[in-house]
Amino acid sequence: MCGIVAYVGPKDAAPILLEGLQRLEYRGYDSAGVVVSNKGLKVRKVKGRVADLAKVVPARFKGGLGIGHTRWATHGVPSDVNAHPHLSADERIAVVHNGIIENAAELRAKLEADGVVFASETDTEVLAHLIAHAADENETLEEAVRKTLKSVVGTYGIAVIDAERPGEVVVARNGSPIVLGIGEKEMFAASDVAALVRYTRQVVHLEDGELAVLKADGFHTFASDARETAKEPLTVDWDAGHYDTGGYEHYLLKEISEQPETVTRTMSGRLDERFHVAHLGGLNMDARETRSFRRVKIIGCGSAYYSGQIGAQLIEELARIPSDAEPASEFRYRNPVVDPDTLYVAISQSGETYDTLAAVQELKRKGGRVIGIVNAVGSAIAREVDGGIYLHAGPEVSVASTKAFTSTAVAFALLALHLGRVRDLSPADGRRIVEGLRRLPGQIGEILAQSDKIAELAKKYAGHAGMMFVGRVRGYPVAREGAQKLKEISYVHAEAYPASELKHGPLALIGPDMPTVAIVPDDELLDKNLTTLGEIRARGGQVLMVGHREPSAKLADDAIVIPKNEIELDPILLTIPLQLFAYYAAVALGRDVDKPRNLAKSVTVE
């Protein structure tokens, strides 16, 4: 969740670190800091944004070696003192750290017993003192870091520099991403390629339990047992331009607006018009193996989980395989039964979501067959799974997921079509779904053309303290995602329920001050959904209906009418107006749309 940037080379490190940290602002943070090495360590750190940090970094902050950090608080409140980097007592060692040291209290107590005085409340400062002690006893910084980490329990991505060894950075990974960037006579490291792409597109991903030493002329990697490891650089497809707002007021609006193109990329080269099937070679499964699965279990967190619910519905309808979705954070802790006849699907935009990664690793230990649906090529989950589908949606910078969510739903439609056509889905139905998928980009464009109307509706409803979202069957995960978007970027309390569950409790909340957003597709459940609208209106509740036809004034106060596709694919389109509604509500309320409070883009802690 935090951000790390490191540099070693002939240039001044500070501007590179600050620019890299700005590229990582979307991850969410509460403080920032940098340290450079030049005849000792020079440190600046502040509570607040990278812009606040830049104001306190002097012009003569020189040094060709440095590390930087943006912090999302876990141990200790956001403050200047708790911000990273953290230094050892002798100011020789500086450390930045993503993750959580679970045995920090125990290690801290031992250090305090030895006379160490701590400056902060963080778990990270423990590392600085331990590495400094080890550095006094070992010839190299890499050996000091390696031996220190043997006593550490928890997750970490770290970067370490030593004032007495000004030409190298040591980095290590366990559960929190670290990526190396290879330049011309310079080296970089970061927690995300976003911080690197302005300077290089040649990257190396560290594995869990792996460390690296960076010097200006190259790097070497090794395991926690000191065994050398071999790494092959990858070329990143994205460049710095992908991380610009492109003239939009916010990244979120840019990413919503990009969806006709991103959905097209997700489908590109994967639809077969002749046999009406989806080609998904990345699954690494032949037809015989594909037919052998008797159940599909989907795991993800947040919006990924809700897209998994849409996916489960698609797979059941098109492939007739029992399917369900579950939060990865719950799945990994409940000692699940891992069935060899079940296909497991892990979803993560970043490919680094810790709970999802841990669930994948648990499944692999127990012999489960796991595929991934991820956006970031070369990410941890992408490397861990047996096969999968890359979204090719491009970088998603805003904390709230939009284009990755939609592309994930489309990827599930492709997967459902693929599974269905090797089982019992007829060529006619296959053709129908292929044609429906082909229509999606244009129909998304039609919905985006209603932005002005949706903005007015959002402004009308944004002043309410809370809103209810309801939907049936295919509409329920759409309602859940709509509520998620509204609450996370506008801070308006929003709850989502199956429409039929209203009368089993939540209807008590309905009244003039609790509007309802009702997802009403034109499908076999239309009449039942309209009945629900009548129940809400009879109790004085306002209704904003999102569906395929204009409702009567008796049933809804307002409506957003969208194009109709095939009933199985309609949920993909129904999410788009809810993204716009949440965005414009947040703008109307003056929220920090791209960086909502307390949240982070890539959740790499438990």
Residues 22 and 153 in one domain: yes
* Tokens, residue 322: 């029992």
Residue 394 lies in a domain: yes
CATH number of the domain that residue 28 is part of: 3.60.20.10
Cite the active site residues.
Answer: 2, 601
Alpha helices per DSSP H over 519-591: 526-538, 570-588
Could you give the angle at the alpha carbon of 297 between the alpha carbons of 279 and 377, nearest 5°?
A: 50
CA distance 85 to 14: 13
Q: Over 60: is that where the pLDDT of 604 sits?
A: no
Q: What is the pLDDT of residue 538?
A: 87
CA distance 572 to 17: 39
Quote the number of domains for the chain: 3
Q: What is the pLDDT of residue 601?
A: 66
Distance from first CA to last CA of the chain, Å, rounded?
Answer: 10
Q: How confident is the model at residue 600 (pLDDT cuts 50, 70, 90)?
A: low
Q: How confident is the model at residue 603 (pLDDT cuts 50, 70, 90)?
A: low
Q: Over 90: is that where the pLDDT of 237 sits?
A: no
Residues 210 and 255 in one domain: no
DSSP 207: P
Q: How confident is the model at residue 106 (pLDDT cuts 50, 70, 90)?
A: very high
* Tokens, residue 178: 């670290």
DSSP helix/strand/coil, 390 = strand
Q: What is the pLDDT of residue 362?
A: 93
Name which of 3-7, 356-360, 378-382 the model is least confident about. Answer: 378-382
CA distance 368 to 384: 12
CA distance 187 to 167: 11
| Stretch 511-530: mean pLDDT | 92
Residue 108 lies in a domain: yes
Q: Over 90: is that where the pLDDT of 330 sits?
A: yes
Residues 230 and 259 in one domain: no
Q: What is the pLDDT of residue 240?
A: 65
Q: What is the pLDDT of residue 109?
A: 96
Q: What is the pLDDT of residue 605?
A: 56
Residues 305 and 383 in one domain: yes
Residue 435 lies in a domain: no
Range of the domain at 410: 244-425
Q: How do the residues of the chain divide into helix, strand and coil, expressed in percent and rounded to 5?
A: 40, 25, 35
Name which of 183-192, 417-426, 514-523, 534-543 the model is least confident about. Answer: 534-543
Cβ-based neighbours of 105, under 8 Å, separated by 6 or more: none
Residues 389 and 461 in one domain: no
Residue type (1 letter), 539: R
Q: Over 70: is that where the pLDDT of 520 sits?
A: yes
DSSP helix/strand/coil, 359 = helix
Residue 606 lies in a domain: no
Q: Over 60: is that where the pLDDT of 464 sits?
A: yes
- Is the full-model pTM beyond 0.85? no
| Stretch 194-201: mean pLDDT | 90
Q: Over 90: is that where the pLDDT of 576 sits?
A: yes
Q: What is the pLDDT of residue 27?
A: 67
Could you give the angle at the alpha carbon of 184 between the alpha carbons of 178 and 189, nearest 5°?
A: 15
Q: Tell me the percentage of the chain whose pLDDT exceeds 90.
A: 77
Q: Are 216 and 225 in contact (CB under 8 A)?
A: no
* Tokens, residue 265: 């990329």
Residue 261 lies in a domain: yes
DSSP helix/strand/coil, 166 = strand
Q: What is the pLDDT of residue 453?
A: 97
Residue pLDDT, tens place only, 162-194: 999 989 999 999 988 899 999 999 999 999 888
Name which of 454-463, 495-504, 586-595 the model is least confident about. Answer: 495-504
Q: Are 528 and 516 in contact (CB under 8 A)?
A: no
Mean pLDDT, the chain, as a whole number? 93
Residues 464 and 409 in one domain: no
Q: What is the pLDDT of residue 469?
A: 97
CA distance 480 to 495: 8
Domain limit, last residue, from 238, 267, 292: 238
Domain limit, last residue, from 238, 257, 277: 238
